Amino acid sequence: MEQPFRVEKTLNNNVLIASHPAYGEVVLLGKGIGFGKKRGDEIAESAVEKCFVLKNEREQEQYKKLLPELSEEFIALMSEVVQHIQQRVGAPLNEHIHVALTDHIAFTLKRLEQGLDVKNPFLAETKSLYPLEYEIAGEVARMIEQKLGIVLPEGEAGFIALHIHSAISKQSVSEANRYSQLIADLVKIVEQQLGVDIDRESVHYLRFVRHLRYAIERMKKGEKVEEPKNLSKILKEAYPLCYNLAWKLVKVMQQTLHLPADDAEAVYLTLHLQRLAEKKNNTTA
C-alpha cells in the first residue's frame, strides 16, 4: 500500500521538505505541491513529480539553507540536471553534487547577471583529463541555455566537469582542480625547457596530459611501474635533454603532492617528451 509523505517544511509552492517512513527526510518537487501546505500535512506519492533523498545530515542542512535563495524554476532545472548526469554516468553519484553543483551554477548565473567575467585558466587541462565529464558538462550548459536562455561561457563547462568528476570519483572539487593546475604548471615547464608552444588540441598533448594524470594517480596509490631492462640507461644517453626534464617534472610532482614517485615514471615521461621535441624539430625543419 502507498505510504504518504508528511510535510516538514514548505519552501515554496513547488518545493517542500517532507518525511517518509521508508525514505526518511526527502526533498519533494511538483507543480503546486507546496501550495497551502503546513507542517504535518500528508502528501500522496502520486502528487510527487520528483523526489530525492539526502542521507547525509550535513548535506540536508546545507541544501535546506540554499533552496530558499533560489527560484522554483532553477530548483526544478537543477533536479533535471543531476538526473541527466546520473543517467549519462550510469553509476552512483556522491549526493554532495546536489548542494555543490546547485550552489556553483547559481553563483555563476549571479556573476554573469552582474556583468562579471568567468575565466577558467585550466580549461584545456580539465578538458583533456576528464573528457566524459567535459562532454556531459557541455550538455548541462545547453540545458541551462534552453530552459533559462542564458549562455554559459566556455570556461564554465570546465568547472561543471570538475563537479561531475568529484561526484563520480568521490574526490573533492578542490583536489581535482589542484591536479588540473599541477598539470598546467608541468606543461608550462615543458614548453619553456623545450622552446615549444604545445597545441592544446593535438593528440601529443592529449596523450601527455593523460600520462601525467595516471602518473599522479599511481603516486597517490603508491603503485610501482614496470620498466624494461636498461631502458633508463638507453634513454639517458640518447635523449639527455628530455631525460633530465622528465626528472624535473617528477620532482615538481613529488614536491606538490608530498608523495614519492617510482623511478620508472621519469623513463616513460622521457618518451612522451621526446615525441613533443621531435614534433618541434619536424615543424622547424
Percent over 70 (pLDDT), the chain: 96
Q: Is the dihedral of CA 138, 144, 145, 147 positive or negative?
A: positive
Phi-psi domain of 239 (left: phi exceeds 0; alpha: psi -120 through 50; beta: other): beta
Helix (H, G, I), strand (E, B) or coil at 229: coil
The pLDDT value recorded for residue 285 is 41
Helix (H, G, I), strand (E, B) or coil at 170: coil
User: What is the grid cell recorded at 62?
Assistant: 546545507
Contacts of 200 (CB under 8 A, 6+ apart): 124, 128
Mean pLDDT over all residues of the chain? 88
Q: Is the pLDDT of residue 1 over 60?
A: no
Q: How far apart are CA 208 and CA 75, in angstroms?
A: 40
The position carrying cell 598533448 is: 205
Residue range(s) of every CATH 2.30.24.10 domain in the chain: 1-53
232-269 tens-digit pLDDT: 889 999 999 999 999 999 999 999 999 999 889 999 99
Length of the chain in residues, anyone?
285
Mean pLDDT calculated for residue range 154-174: 93
What is the 8-class DSSP label of residue 56? S
**CATH code that applies to domain 1-53:** 2.30.24.10
- 12 vs 241 pLDDT, higher one: 241
Strands in 24-29's sheet, in edge-to-edge order, are 42-43, 5-12, 15-20, 24-29, 50-53
Q: How far apart are CA 16 and CA 37, in angstroms?
A: 9
The pLDDT value recorded for residue 81 is 93
Residue range(s) of every CATH 1.10.1790.10 domain in the chain: 55-171, 178-284
Strand ranges (DSSP E) for 81-135?
Answer: none
Q: How far apart are CA 164 and CA 161, in angstroms?
A: 5
Q: Is the dihedral of CA 192, 197, 203, 206 positive or negative?
A: positive
As a three-state string, the secondary structure of 182-219 is: HHHHHHHHHHHHHCCCCCCCCHHHHHHHHHHHHHHHHH
- 200 vs 285 pLDDT, higher one: 200
Q: Which helix (H) or strand (E) holds 3?
A: none
The closest alpha carbon to 176, from 193, 164, 162, 191, belongs to: 162
Q: Which CATH architecture has domain 55-171?
A: Orthogonal Bundle (1.10)
Asked if residue 54 lies in contact with residue 27, where contact means CB atoms within 8 angstroms, the answer is yes
Q: Is the pLDDT of residue 208 over 50?
A: yes
Cα dihedral 70→73→74→75 (10° resolution) = 70
Asked if residue 161 lies in contact with residue 126, where contact means CB atoms within 8 angstroms, the answer is yes
**CATH code that applies to domain 178-284:** 1.10.1790.10
Asked if residue 28 lies in contact with residue 15, where contact means CB atoms within 8 angstroms, the answer is yes
